[in-house]
Amino acid sequence: MSERLLEVKDLQIQFGSGETAVRAVDGVSFSVGRGETVALVGESGSGKSMSALAVTKITPRAARYGGGSIRFDGEDVLSMSERALRSLRGGRISYIFQEPMVSFNPVFTIGQQVREALKLHRPDRATLSEVKRLLDRVQLPERLARAYPHEMSGGQLQRCMIAMAVACAPDLLIADEPTTALDVTIQREVLNLLARLTEEEELAVLLITHNFGIVSDLAERVYVMQRGKVVESGQTEQVLTRPEHSYTQALMAAVPRLKRSGGHDGAA
C-alpha cells in the first residue's frame, strides 16, 4: 500500500453515558494511503458516516470520544486546536455529502459560494475565472456561476459540490453517499466524474456507501462496518469475490446492476 495519509486506530465514539450509552463507533480502525481510494461500507446506522465525520472532528456536539486515535499526515487530529482544525477542513480534507441542496446557501449564487471557499484556503485564486475553470472541470457551463441553488437540478448541484471540494486542492476527499439522492443515470455520470477527477488530481478518497456496486468501480480497498465495528476488510477484489462475513454477503446480494459506458457491469 502507498504511504499512509490517514490512519484511524481503535476509534470509539458514544452518545450518552452509563448503561444507556450508545456506541456509534466501537473500536474502529482503518487507513487511507496517498492517492488511494478506500471505502467504508455498511447500512444506515453502521457507524461509517460517524467515522468519516470524526476525521476532522465535525461529529455532533453530543458525541463523546471514548478512545483511539486519528492521525492525518502524521499529525494527531484529536489534539488539534480549533484553529488548526478549521485550516484542515476544506483545505487539506474536503467533504462531499449526499444532500447537495442543504449544503448550499439559497441566497447566494453558486459562483459566490465557490469563491468563498477559495477565499478561505486559497485567496490568491478566488477569482471569477477560477470559478469558471472549476465548473468546466466538473462539466458544467460557466453561466451557472450566476445561478442560485434552487435553479439547478440535483445532479448539477452535486457537480458544484464536487467543484467546491476540489477547489482548494485537498489531499483527501471524503465522499459520504455522494449519489444516494440522484437517479441512476445521473449517479453513473457523477461516479465517472469522481473517478476521473481523483485520478487527475491524485487525490486520496474515503468513500462512504452502502452499495458494493459503487465500491467495485472506485475503491482499491474496503472496510465493511456493522453496528459500529469493522467486520471485514481487504482488497476490494478479494472481498467482492470471496466475502467471508455473512453481513458482507448480504450487502453484496442487494447490489443493483447498471451497465457501464465502457462495457463493464457496475452498480447504480
pLDDT one-digit tens code per residue, 8-21: 999 999 999 888 89
The whole-angstrom separation of Cα 165 and Cα 49 is 17
Average predicted confidence (pLDDT) for the chain: 90
Which amino acid is present at 128? L
**Res 261: pLDDT:** 46
- pLDDT tens, 180-207? 878 888 888 888 898 898 888 889 999 9
pTM: 0.89
pLDDT average, residue stretch 59-64: 94
The whole-angstrom separation of Cα 192 and Cα 169 is 19
Q: Is a pLDDT exceeding 90 seen at residue 267?
A: no
Strands of the sheet containing 75-76, edge to edge, are 22-33, 4-15, 63-72, 75-76
**Cell numbers found for residue 100:** 447537495
**Res 216: pLDDT:** 87
The whole-angstrom separation of Cα 172 and Cα 47 is 20
Instruction: Walk me through the domains of the chain, giving residue ranges and CATH numbers.
Output: 32-58+79-267 (3.40.50.300)
- pLDDT tens, 136-185? 999 999 999 999 999 999 899 999 999 999 988 899 999 999 888 788 88
- pLDDT tens, 6-61? 999 999 999 998 888 999 999 999 999 999 999 999 999 999 999 999 999 999 99
Q: Is a pLDDT exceeding 50 seen at residue 101?
A: yes
At residue 116, what are phi and psi to the nearest 5 degrees?
-65, -40
pLDDT average, residue stretch 108-120: 93
